[in-house]
Amino acid sequence: MNYHLDDDRTRHLTVHYPATGERIVNYEMTPVQCHVRDARPFVESLSVDTNGFVLRKVDSKCNDFTDDKKVQSTYYPEAQKMIKAEFPGVQHVIIFDHTVRTQNGRRTFVTEVHADYTQESGLAQAKKMLQKFGAQQLPELTPAQQTKLLEGHLGIANIWKPINHTAHFTPLAFLDPRSVQEKDVKEIELIYPDRIGRIPHLFPSDLHDWWYFPEMTTREAVIFKQMDTREDVWKEAGAYRGHTFHSAFKDPTMPPVGAKPRESIELRCLFFWGDAAEPRNGQNERSTSCRL
């Protein structure tokens, strides 16, 4: 896994040029040998609140994930149903972004240990995406009702799945948030032409508990949490701030002859429980047997 170097610099910048995909950084990553365990034997006991990630079956009717219009018209509604099923009590879901990644494409695999948002940048993103997509994806709510959602319980999660064929190469690994400590975290500034964002990176730790699902098929998807505004949910589980750190990595196991490079799609989902949402009883009480 590629971790952030523990140095004395106070500013760590990533400059993004979306038109070209170019990035300029002033920080260094260091490769660290990690034990990444197979989560498949424990798939039934995983909890998105406790472990940060779950594996689910998905039988999408989308027949071309490289076609943005087909993804938005077919896969987005399917993903909204998946989020509501995974997070009981969620009333409203906005799918605000998707990314297709291939080995040689414009968007390739991210091999840096990271989470997508800090608590502050996640809230800023929620406000921005609600303003951008609320009228389109939440037409049942007035603008005032949509704004009111930001005062309640909200979360952000990603849905990640292989497309076109089984993912034999460069799978995605997930870090159990209970193994992250505050001192491990380093915020990175993302400098875009029109804004500055922030994401958390990590310093390496022997306590970090990595998991993955080998050979994921196109009918499987991982849902993993990126933010949760209700502190008692993640504090009760001992999970670091509701963030699931993740990274692509090189699986050293031998792939089958003729296996193709990984192709995948990830969706970013913003969701709201609403003002009267009840605590998710039972969701936090699933087995935590993955802490071996």
What's residue 189's pLDDT? 85
291 domain residue, yes or no = no
Amino acid at 17: Y
With residues binned 3-state (H G I as helix, E B as strand, rest as coil), the percentages for the chain, rounded to 5, are 25, 30, 45
13 domain residue, yes or no = no
17 domain residue, yes or no = no
176 domain residue, yes or no = yes
Residues 6 or more apart from 175 whose CB is under 8 A from it? 52, 113, 202, 208, 209, 210, 211, 244, 245, 246
Q: What is the CATH number of the domain that holds 103?
A: 2.60.120
Residue segments in the chain with a per-residue pLDDT below the cut of 50: 276-289, 292
**Verdict on whether the full-model pTM lies above 0.85:** yes
What's residue 276's pLDDT? 35
190 domain residue, yes or no = no
70 domain residue, yes or no = yes
What's residue 9's pLDDT? 61
Q: Which of 1, 237, 233, 230 is nearest to 114 (CA)?
A: 1
For 182-193, the pLDDT digits (tens) are: 999 988 888 877
For 201-236, the pLDDT digits (tens) are: 999 999 999 999 999 999 999 999 999 998 888 888
292 domain residue, yes or no = no
What's residue 52's pLDDT? 96
Measured CA to CA, the distance from residue 65 to residue 264 in angstroms comes to 9
Show the domain range for 234: 29-183+203-285
23 domain residue, yes or no = no
Domain count, the chain: 1
